[in-house]
Structure 1
Amino acid sequence: MGTTSPATSRSASELTASSADLQPASLRYSLVQRCRSLYHGLWLRLSERVRWSRRPYHETPVGHFSDLAPWQTTRIEALRARYDAGFESRYGHHTALANYAYLDVLDQAWNATARPIPEGGRVTDVGCANFWYALTLHKFFRPAILTGVDVEGFRLYPTGYSRYDAAAGYITDLPQTSFVVADYSMLEEQADVITAWFPFVTPAPVLAWRLPLTLFSPERFFLRIARNLAGSGTFFMVNQGLEEADLAADYCRRAGLRSQGQWVHPQPLRPRPHPPVASWWRI
């Protein structure tokens, strides 16, 4: 689905914490950043007012992969057999491979640390974009209820379909699954498992994903996770590299979350500039 290709997970809200954070935006961000933020904010408000939607969008399945390295093919075959996953029969090449990559992270991270998979509960994924990996979460966690949350739901793609249309297509036929357009930092929804793939912990990716900086609030975001996580629940997070993981971990600790371990992927199924770093947290 080239024009609605997968996006990394993300979250959004408003900074609150340190003395630096409390400075006026004119001191925190450059003129270029502020101009970009205003521009993105304008388009976000416009899309939310129009709320354009046609019908669920479904990708043309790639059928089979080509041009993969032998080790990638072998790994995909193992994941397909273990989880009864056939993403290539549902999605285009890019989305199918990305789903296997996410499933690979989940599978290797949990097995490498000998953790029991928390199956059958309420799972919430935050910053889900158009929820292109909803099926991966179903295959791994087998949730009773799955909810994907993203602050932006009606971005219009060149195809004429919106992000909402794409999400509707991705969750078609998935039981007890929903896509919610909301600022997660203001959403009250208890969950046994909360997942976040590459959440924003620095402002640059916010602008890269065409969102205004007014939606950047890692402190409020992680505080909401701590409040929404069930007493015996698990927060599973994936970050891009150790430096970003350290920043995210600091926000987690300040929100009252307790680390349950960390794992660095030795060889991602899809090459990335920084290795995925998985971590587990509890309240």
Structure 2
Amino acid sequence: MSRRENFLRHLLFDVRNRLDYPLRQLFRWRRAGFRISPRPEVDPFAPLPAEERPRAVALAGRLVRDYHLEEFAAQTTPVNYRENLFYLHLLESALEASQISLPEEIRAADIGPSHWFYVQALAALLRWWRTPHPRQIDLQGYEIDAYRVYADLHSRYDHAIGHIRDLPGVTYIPRGFSAQPLAFHLIFMLFPFVFSQDHLEWGLPGSLFQPRALLQAAWQSLQPGGLLIIVNQGEEEHAAQRALLEAEGIPIRAAFRHDPLLFRYSLDRFVLTACRDG
């Protein structure tokens, strides 16, 4: 695609999004009845190569036990089960690599969680990481495009509530994140838009593409000693995200590519963490 064709494509996306996005915010589509169907009695790791399966099953079993996810495991689909355990392992690895401790009561924000398909893993991590007794958590998910409608005629909001179920201390907030100085112990940014093309293709107006401002808002919202965890997909996005952190003078605590054993995506997942000085 030529530079001119690419420009016109982006322009058309932006024009469409400037019409569609305000309409979604105006109508705020919600429809009751979305629920996750229990997983059938099949091996969720059957698609894996035979040589990888024992290690994946052992890791999954350890995560379910350590984070008390037995009920969730019995009530979800094989794909959602594996994806949640993948992100639980990824985020557990991020905390361990960052060498921090968590307080007994924790306040956390997740910026841009989409339909929050991984919320069970995230809540379990906050509640049970390195503690024999469950923490009290206040987990807030901020989604700027919560009323996007999926093929099943349920909105992103509907799907998120279906994934949350009855998790205590978890709130889905249908608006973009703004700075809340010194408010959070932990802030998660899973797949923030680093490139404008991705932002436009996901249905957002170009005027809302402000990756540096969003990063600044997240950093300002951490308490002293608080941790920012960012997950990107692919090496190019990871490198661009790292450059943003460095440009803002945000010190990187840990950086790694996560092992895709539990769930394999077309692009590898990369992690960056940054700890605000205490």
TM-score by length of 2: 0.83
Secondary structure at the aligned position of 1:233 is classed as strand
Q: Which amino acid aligns with 2:170?
A: T
The answer (yes or no) to whether the contact 1:41–1:211 under 8 Å persists in 2 is yes
Counterpart in the other structure of 1:242:
235
Is 1:207 the equivalent of 2:200? yes
Provide closer, same or farther for how the CA distance between residues 203 and 268 of structure 1 changes in structure 2, counting only shifts above 3 A: farther
The answer (yes or no) to whether the contact 2:238–2:270 under 8 Å persists in 1 is yes
Q: Deviations over 1:192-217 (max 9, x none)?
A: 10011121111222133232222211
Is 1:34 the equivalent of 2:4? no
Is 1:84 the equivalent of 2:63? no
Counterpart in the other structure of 2:56:
72
Please provide the CA RMSD for this pair: 2.3
The answer (yes or no) to whether the contact 2:191–2:233 under 8 Å persists in 1 is yes
Return the offset for 1:102: 0.5
Q: Which amino acid aligns with 2:81?
A: A
Map 1:159-238 → 2, pairs under 5 A: 159-184=152-177, 186-188=178-180, 190-238=183-231
Map 1:261-272 → 2, pairs under 5 A: 261-272=254-265
Structure 2: distance between partners of 1:247 and 1:204: 14
List gaps (5 residues or longer) in structure 1.
Answer: 1-25
Structure 2: distance between partners of 1:68 and 1:115: 34
The answer (yes or no) to whether the contact 2:179–2:220 under 8 Å persists in 1 is no
The answer (yes or no) to whether the contact 1:268–1:276 under 8 Å persists in 2 is no
Return the offset for 1:182: 1.5
Amino-acid identity (%):
23
Question: Relative contact order: is structure 1 or structure 2 higher (C-alpha 8 Å, sep ≥ 6)?
Answer: 1
Secondary structure at the aligned position of 2:20 is classed as helix
Secondary structure at the aligned position of 2:37 is classed as coil
Counterpart in the other structure of 1:60:
37
Structure 1: distance between partners of 2:40 and 2:65: 16
Q: How many aligned residue pairs are there? A: 255
Provide closer, same or farther for how the CA distance between residues 108 and 63 of structure 1 changes in structure 2, counting only shifts above 3 A: farther
Is 1:46 the equivalent of 2:23? yes
Q: Deviations over 1:79-134 (max 9, x none)?
A: 212212244323223322211110121233444x3724525310100010012222
Structure 2: distance between partners of 1:266 and 1:160: 35
The answer (yes or no) to whether the contact 1:203–1:213 under 8 Å persists in 2 is yes
Provide closer, same or farther for how the CA distance between residues 95 and 213 of structure 1 changes in structure 2, counting only shifts above 3 A: farther
Return the offset for 1:268: 4.1
Structure 1: distance between partners of 2:242 and 2:69: 32
Q: Which moved more, 1:214-223 or 1:59-68?
A: 59-68
Return the offset for 1:281: 0.5
Secondary structure at the aligned position of 2:91 is classed as helix
Counterpart in the other structure of 2:102:
118
Structure 2: distance between partners of 1:41 and 1:187: 24
Q: Which amino acid aligns with 1:43?
A: D
Structure 1: distance between partners of 2:169 and 2:125: 15
Q: Which amino acid aligns with 1:52?
A: W
Is 1:279 the equivalent of 2:258? no
Structure 2: distance between partners of 1:227 and 1:208: 29
Return the offset for 1:255: 3.0
